[in-house]
Amino acid sequence: MKRAIKQYSTPLNDEDLKCFKETEAACRAFRNYCYSRYSGVNSITKLKKYRNNIRKDELRNSQAVNDSHLTSNMWAAVLDDAIGGIKSRWSNAKNCIRTRIKQNPNLSEDDRHYLYGVLKNDDTYHDVLNHYKHVQLPKKIEKLNVNRHRLDNLLRRYTRECLGKIPYSSKPISIQLDANLYKYKRVNGDLYFCFSTLMKGKRIAVRVTDDQVHSGTLRVKLDEHTNRLIIMSSSDVTPYHEEPQDDGLVIGVDKGYNTLISTSTGVGYGPDFGEWLTQRDDEITSKGRKRGKLWSRYRELKKRGHDRKAESLKNNNLGSVKQEARRRRDHAMIESFVNHELRLFYRLEKPGTVVCEDLTWSSDGKGRSKTWNRRLSGWCKRVIQSRMEFLAGVYGARVVMVNAAYTSQVCSVEGCGRFGERSGGNFTCPVHGWMDADLNAAVNVRSRYYDDGIKLWFSPWVVKKVLESRLSGL
């Protein structure tokens, strides 16, 4: 398990700043070229051994490399960065496709077996996506009695939907540097970070604010507000235990808006979380409305031909420096708050297994007001999940994801499972009456850990069908 480490430099002078921006722009242009050329379906089979198939056979001494003006080590590092992103993109797309295959009720077991077999073999997957007439199938699926034409078309459609658009970076990005592109050195007791630029043999040397000397592959990014470099690295984290963890202790966790997390043991962590998020959202909305009026005034002045007044209004009242600083400050406060509360949870409850909801869905916002849609868009469920998984490794626990459908809408009393009504923090069961909604959801999440009848990939309507079938037997 690794954690991210950031190192900061002192502000760059004008010459070094200009040189770094030119280097970053060249790296970004070459990375965009790599994404556009090797993200398509024709390059799937090249990615596994890309150092030979792409770097050696195609790009070395090519016109694209010559036009980039990058040194050989630098364009190779940019290529490694781009290929890593492309591989992750295909991996995420395949996971999305597998989920859709599992959730499709119109597919038989042989249909699913065929589709999984094609996805697993890159050569077969490549041939299917490119409409080859003669596709060499793996032995495990070549004798299946399925409608291949229908399934191949379905797989192509799923690929288009899950793969999405080819990434393109128009804004400044971080530069990936391998060990050959940088070094640390000391001058008069100060530590300097030296790294390569576009000019062969020329390195920028900047003083860093601490004494850490990193190794391996690093990423370097410019903080445009302070003109400082952010040097990003990673290091291994050694798990520690204040007391031995109980491997048999399974705790269900419900992630909420008002309370950060509620556990199946009846304890809530971060009870003021929703209040702070609401206050922050109201302040951002209020300032946004005022800025909207100023933008309207700016457009009106431009329309009337008062360009001088319009530019004065834009430069003095519609800047983004304070807005970006406030956004970064708020994000740092959220991360600090989430970290503190989750560490408290792991220290006090000492779980062996943490069961939580899979909230990797995106909502269409139907059925809710604009205010609540705006507030939920600021709900940092990904930050909560990532920190929960990281701290689980630190404290010797494990995180298990379960299907979140209807965990907050059914009664958690053992043997009941009836649908009830949830209103804010209250849940009412038609049989057992009122109970705390967050505790009810957390207990249901924990119960899903032992429920073999509801799989993680089940769609909500399938989960509802399973729950209703159980109720019919009561």
The tens-digit pLDDT sequence of the chain (474 residues) is: 677 889 999 999 999 999 999 999 999 999 999 999 999 998 999 998 888 888 888 888 889 888 988 888 899 999 999 999 999 999 999 999 998 898 888 899 999 999 999 999 999 999 999 998 888 888 888 888 899 999 999 999 999 999 988 889 888 888 999 888 999 999 998 999 999 988 777 889 999 999 989 988 999 999 888 899 999 998 877 665 545 455 568 999 998 888 889 999 999 998 888 888 888 888 888 888 999 999 999 999 999 999 999 999 988 888 888 888 888 888 888 889 999 999 999 999 989 899 998 876 555 555 566 665 665 665 677 888 888 888 888 888 889 999 888 888 889 888 788 888 888 788 888 888 888 888 999 999 999 999 888 888 888 888 888 888 888 765
Task: Give the DSSP letter string of 210-236.
Answer: S-----SSEEEEEETTTTEEEEEEEEE
Tokens of 161: 């939907």
Q: What is the pLDDT of residue 242?
A: 47
Q: What is the pLDDT of residue 235?
A: 80
Q: What is the pLDDT of residue 443?
A: 92
Q: What is the pLDDT of residue 244?
A: 46
CA 467 vs CA 57, 433, 448: distances in Å? 57, 19, 12
Give the closest residue to 173 by CA, choosing from 11, 18, 12, 28. Answer: 28
- Helix 321-349, helix 381-394: angle, nearest 10: 40
Amino acid at 367: G
How many Cα neighbours within 13 Å face the side chain of 277? Answer: 25
